[in-house]
Chain A
């Protein structure tokens, strides 16, 4: 790959095969077995036209797509690689790339395919390709960065072949799943791709600005394989001529792309024209400083400005979060993530450290849950190497590791993981003991930097934490932290982070000292502050700083924030008008704030459990009754349930610790294979607000998981949901498995295609047609 000319790739295969008898719906990959001559002729044609790397005809040769075929994945791949090899032999030095496209199903959380399954599918393909003698692996036409990550990891961990990855973008610079060009470039370079680029979807003219953008974000060789322009929407056919195509490819050659070819609609004639055009051009890629940062698949936090790291997903000192982690209550954690994103976090810290748990497994679960609802880059925060690795493996994009320190054992353990996944890394300026001087901090920072660079980590990806020590206990340290921070930024040119909130520990009204310290730290160059973004004062400070530093161009954010706050201030007056509203009325009207107020008022004169039984539940019953009589409709029912829930939360806080207000446990799940969970979630909200302890297993829940959790929680009632006729079958299997387990429980089912009769046939105890009926059923089974 050190030639100084653009390497010419091949053009389309599918359309060429159709010209040689491939019928619609027939798998092109199998043509190698039924009609090897045709495939070889096409590829020979490409070699004659100037292709020096042939992509094997294996785009969809994965186990999912070959499921109905009699041939194994390895047999199909071997046959196709052999043919490409034969065709390549016409011109010595012509290489054969194992070509792999996306699996064809979306990964969870959108689809049902897990990251690990995807990895496994790719692993089978790349090992088959290596065994068959491929010279390199090319993943192309990917639209989901997470799938590309699974593919790249599978190739890197199981073969020693060079790996290229090209993705398909729309005109707006995003793939269908929202991956942007900078996020793709930074993530895949970090993860060890040997070359990256763009193929398919658009023609050369539309792709050029995108590949140009990509060149700013990576120093890897670039690949471009555009379509023959844009197709006619009704027929799918392309119009531009080979010469027009080659002319449109000229800017790519000038940019210095490493490899170029064609995708849909191109043919050997296109490749010949391109090859002739490329013959005269030489690659002159000017090395320049590349843009860099940390990212999710769609959001880039580019180095050079201040990025706020939300600190709230960390169980230290947070009882509710700790319990949620123990219960695998991902909704609670997702809520915290969304709140922080809405409050203005740019990056989310994720720490799930609780003694005696499988931290790696929990990290994987939380990372996946969080990135299913927010699109921010993540900071994987743990003291355990396995948990860090688990977090990085599943975090889509390029994450930050929090943290290493200057201890040799720590550096040796963590830096290779950072290198493998291409993560940025926080280095704590300490070793076994805390530093007490500026010089000590800087010495640690230097050591960490030296080791990291030696381990192959880009200097730009190092973030030093000069350590915030509590001012009430170690008052002399605050100025030293700030001075070290300033020097880390100015003299060493590294990024800096601080856990800002630590400063105020043990002091009353923490906000003042926290905000003052944050101000000083920002002034000294702190670019990755770890803060409580939900705290208004902290965010006011950051907003003001960004206006003063010039980061907030035209003070736009400042104006937006403070103009908004002025209007918010007026809100409480509105509430005070309705303060006298009764709990009953507040619930029926679905007014959460008023329900809280009314509950508090009642608690002044009533016992907590009495408020539940004599006020809350009867109000909910009335709501259910109104819903049944069609006096109110669904959103009103849910608003009412939510209002009751807010009242219930107030009561829970007042109850003595040993008093359990729960009316019993209910396991709820959308069955295996089904991903429609809105109905299930409605029922969940209603049941919770009736005071039941609802354990939500989510959607697409394996039969065995339902059984295991039901038995483990000793739940007496299981609620199952399925929306499709195709998935009612797995509802039936779930019920059968529950019965076979011997665990004594009732099963209620719901979902659009179910009927009372159908529910009986599949062995359910109850059919519930709406949330009201599910609450009635819960009462019948679990009692009041």
Chain B
């Protein structure tokens, strides 16, 4: 499936920047638009996924640890495991702007976070639509770092998806994904309508001091 980057909404970018309604003068407005454009032009999103059977909330051949994921998948018979990245070009562009103009870099960083979320949203929407036709429902996306799903599970996800070979996504020894603007997630597939909401700040390990909370919630 093609990774699609369709939109980098200014509103989202501002939220990542901690914007709380401060006046944005025309110079800054232009700067933000310019940065979003550069991000759009330098992003080469790629994604890969697989669908695995689930038994008693555990994905076949992929025990990730933690209880929250079991809860999420409790009524699911299958799960989608997905990884997406914006690619190294985006990262090099960010590095250049960090050298040349730090405020551009900060805005681009937020725009890139928005962009990779958009790629995931598009993927999720396409999957939801596809499975809906078969009468199936999807859970929310769930990622390492949410709730008690350990960061260490990242490696297992990347391994099972062969992300290095398929989309050029690797992990450093300290479990940082490279390229950095990358996301992995699990989405359960169920016959039942899903009501459990596990996204959002309450279930996030960063909830005490997440910088994005200053400007509202990171997932609404």
Contact = CB atoms under 8 A, between A and B. Distances in A.
Contacts of A234: 49-51
Interface in A630-679: 630-636, 638-639, 641-642, 673-678
A633 to B, nearest CB: 5
B140 interface: no
B175 A726 contact: yes
Contacts of B175: 724, 726
Contacts of B172: 105-106, 111-113, 673, 675
B209 A754 contact: yes
A331 B170 contact: no
A678 B105 contact: yes
B93 to A, nearest CB: 9
B151 A642 contact: no
B50 A373 contact: no
A178 B107 CA distance: 24
B164 A634 contact: no
Interface in A335-369: 335, 338
B1 interface: yes
A180 interface: no
Interface stretch (B4-12, B65-73, B83-91, B191-199): B83-91
Contacts of B99: 331, 334-335, 338, 373
B95 A638 contact: no
A106 B27 contact: no
Contact of B27 (A109, A591, A638): A591
Contacts of B25: 589
A590 interface: yes
Given A24-B61, A590-B27, 18 more contacts: A23-B61, A105-B173, A106-B172, A110-B178, A110-B179, A112-B172, A334-B96, A630-B22, A631-B22, A635-B32, A638-B102, A674-B174, A675-B180, A676-B180, A678-B109, A724-B174, A752-B206, A753-B206
A176 B167 contact: yes
B209 A769 contact: yes
A178 B50 contact: no
A338 B18 contact: no
B145 to A, nearest CB: 9
A-B pairs, 6 with minimum CB distance: A176-B168, A673-B174, A638-B103, A685-B102, A111-B178, A726-B174
Contacts of B27: 589-591
Nearest to A336: B99
Nearest to A331: B99
A102 interface: yes
Nearest to A201: B165
Contact of B159 (A25, A590, A634): A25
A104 B102 contact: no
Interface in B164-191: 164-165, 167-168, 170-176, 178-180
A366 to B, nearest CB: 14
Interface of A: 23-25, 102, 104-106, 109-113, 141, 143, 168, 175-178, 200-201, 233-236, 331, 334-335, 338, 372-375, 589-591, 630-636, 638-639, 641-642, 673-678, 681-682, 685, 724-727, 730, 752-755, 769
Interface in B24-55: 25, 27-28, 31-32, 46, 48-51
The dominant DSSP class at the A interface is loop
Contacts of A23: 61
A674 B18 contact: no
Given A111-B170, A673-B172, A752-B209, A335 B100 contact: yes
Given A636-B22, A678-B98, A724-B174, A177 B180 contact: no
Nearest to A677: B98
B202 interface: no
Given A105-B173, A178-B89, A338 B22 contact: no
A632 B103 CA distance: 13
Contacts of B129: none
B91 A110 contact: yes
A105 B171 contact: yes
B58 to A, nearest CB: 14
B170 A104 contact: yes
A200 B20 CA distance: 49
B125 interface: no
B147 to A, nearest CB: 14
Contacts of B102: 638, 641-642, 681-682, 685
A671 B22 CA distance: 33
A563 to B, nearest CB: 19
B176 A675 contact: yes
B19 interface: yes
Nearest to A372: B95
Contacts of B31: 635, 639
A341 to B, nearest CB: 9
B178 A235 contact: no
Contacts of A176: 46, 87-88, 167-168
Given A724-B176, A752-B210, A753-B206, A178 B106 contact: no
Chain A CB within 10 Å — which of B17, B50, B164 has the most?
Answer: B164
Chain B CB within 10 Å — which of A175, A334, A635, A641 has the most?
Answer: A635
22 contacts: A23-B61, A24-B160, A102-B164, A109-B95, A110-B91, A201-B165, A233-B48, A234-B51, A334-B96, A335-B99, A589-B27, A630-B20, A630-B214, A633-B19, A635-B103, A642-B101, A673-B174, A724-B174, A725-B205, A726-B175, A727-B176, A752-B209
A201 B174 CA distance: 28
A769 to B, nearest CB: 7
Contacts of B168: 143, 175-177
A266 to B, nearest CB: 15
A109 B167 CA distance: 18
A200 B165 contact: yes
A635 B107 contact: yes
A106 B91 CA distance: 13
B173 to A, nearest CB: 7
Contacts of A338: 96, 99-100
B211 interface: yes
A755 B49 contact: no
Nearest to A141: B165
